[in-house]
């Protein structure tokens, strides 16, 4: 092995320093949230700031459940995220299948429109979506939150690229054995596509669980509001802010999604790279 030269050693040190800096930038706010969630309310305002709770208390977590409809917000998040993930998986997989294995006029133009949708931020369509949902009488309803968010341009793009990488010989053999479109999709394509499907599902779960703007506009009370909206109302509805309780609610909000991410992150990396070599 060749010894590390001067410039290479300098680059190695610079790389480690950059990595530590990035880690500190990401970890410091998370550490402050965790520590504050175990403080008493008066400890939040002392100067200089206390970097460790003294005494350590779990009372903020109890107050989240007792003083806030946290379980209702949690159930609403599960309903909204579950419905959106199911809808996006079905629509994304079926539309990707159509773009790859069906022949119809204007297929390229339609796919370009799907790609163009990726470039349009959701905030641009908020006003028109709100006007439509309001005319339908869907304000403060689950369908009013779910339907405008059910568009699936990224999932279609991801699954289409993955389907293009699958061996064409296997597809042809399945067709010669009498597979129709549905059997081909369910029994041949999807069993070879689980890493990409898992990556698609995980990205969708994270995005929809953390969605804030549209549910905030549509949800008027806790009957349909998800956790993100509930967190915002903890801060904005009272002159006195119980910061330890807010931080405890934040920890309880992000914990389920972190568990899902840790369980599925290996499949996510494999799925995202499986279609990266063919467009």
At 145 the pLDDT is: 94
Residue 14 has pLDDT above 60, yes or no: yes
Token match 């109890």: residue? Answer: 62
Residue 235 has pLDDT above 50, yes or no: yes
> What is the full DSSP assignment across 46-105?
-SSPPSS-SS---HHHHHHHHHS-HHHHHHHHHHHHHHHHHHHHHHHHHHHHHHHH---T
The distance of Cα 13 from the centroid of its chain, to the nearest Å, equals 34
Would you mind telling me the total number of residues written for the chain in this entry?
Answer: 279
Residue 279 has pLDDT above 50, yes or no: no
Token match 């079905």: residue? Answer: 90
Is 159 exposed, middle or buried, given 0-12, 13-18 or 19+ CB atoms closer than 10 A? buried
Could you read off the pLDDT of 159-210 as tens digits, one per residue?
Answer: 998 899 888 888 888 888 888 888 889 988 998 888 889 889 988 999 999 9
Residue 78 has pLDDT above 50, yes or no: yes
At 77 the pLDDT is: 94
Spatial separation of the C-alpha atoms in residues 95 and 104, rounded to whole Å: 13
Could you read off the pLDDT of 115-130 as tens digits, one per residue?
Answer: 888 887 777 888 889 9
| 105 vs 235, more confident | 105
At 152 the pLDDT is: 83
Residue 42 banded pLDDT, cuts 50, 70, 90: confident
| 117 vs 274, more confident | 117
The stretch 80-99 carries a mean pLDDT of: 94
With a pLDDT cut of 70, the percent of the chain lying above it is 92
Spatial separation of the C-alpha atoms in residues 190 and 47, rounded to whole Å: 58
Residue 74 has pLDDT above 90, yes or no: yes
Element (H, E) at 175: helix 168-176
At 99 the pLDDT is: 92
Q: Average pLDDT, whole number, for the chain?
A: 86
At 4 the pLDDT is: 52
Strand segments, DSSP code E, in 71-201 are none
Could you read off the pLDDT of 249-273 as tens digits, one per residue?
Answer: 999 999 998 898 888 877 776 666 6
At 3 the pLDDT is: 52
């Amino acid at each position: 092995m060749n010894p590390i030269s001067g410039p290479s050693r300098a680059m190695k040190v610079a790389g480690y320093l950059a990595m530590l800096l990035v880690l500190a930038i990401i970890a410091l706010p998370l550490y402050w949230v965790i520590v504050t969630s175990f403080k008493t309310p008066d400890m939040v305002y002392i100067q200089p700031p206390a970097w460790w709770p003294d005494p350590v208390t779990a009372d903020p977590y109890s107050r989240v459940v007792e003083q806030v409809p946290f379980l209702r917000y949690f159930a609403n998040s599960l309903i909204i995220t579950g419905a959106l993930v199911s809808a996006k998986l079905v629509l994304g997989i079926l539309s990707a299948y159509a773009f790859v294995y069906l022949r119809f006029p204007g297929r390229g133009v339609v796919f370009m429109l799907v790609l163009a949708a990726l470039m349009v931020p959701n905030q641009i369509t908020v006003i028109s979506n709100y006007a439509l949902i309001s005319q339908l009488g869907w304000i403060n309803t689950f369908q009013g939150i779910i339907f405008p968010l059910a568009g699936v341009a990224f999932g279609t793009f991801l699954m289409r690229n993955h389907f293009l990488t699958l061996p064409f010989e296997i597809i042809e053999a399945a067709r010669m054995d009498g597979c129709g479109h549905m059997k081909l999709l369910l029994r041949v394509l999807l069993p070879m596509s689980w890493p990409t499907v898992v990556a698609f599902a995980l990205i969708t779960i994270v995005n929809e669980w953390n969605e804030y703007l549209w549910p905030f506009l549509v949800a008027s009370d806790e009957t349909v509001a998800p956790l993100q909206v509930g967190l915002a109302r903890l801060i904005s509805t009272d002159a006195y802010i119980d910061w330890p309780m807010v931080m405890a609610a934040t920890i309880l909000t992000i914990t389920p999604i972190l568990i899902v991410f840790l369980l599925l992150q290996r499949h996510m990396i494999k799925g995202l790279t499986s279609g990266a070599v063919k467009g």
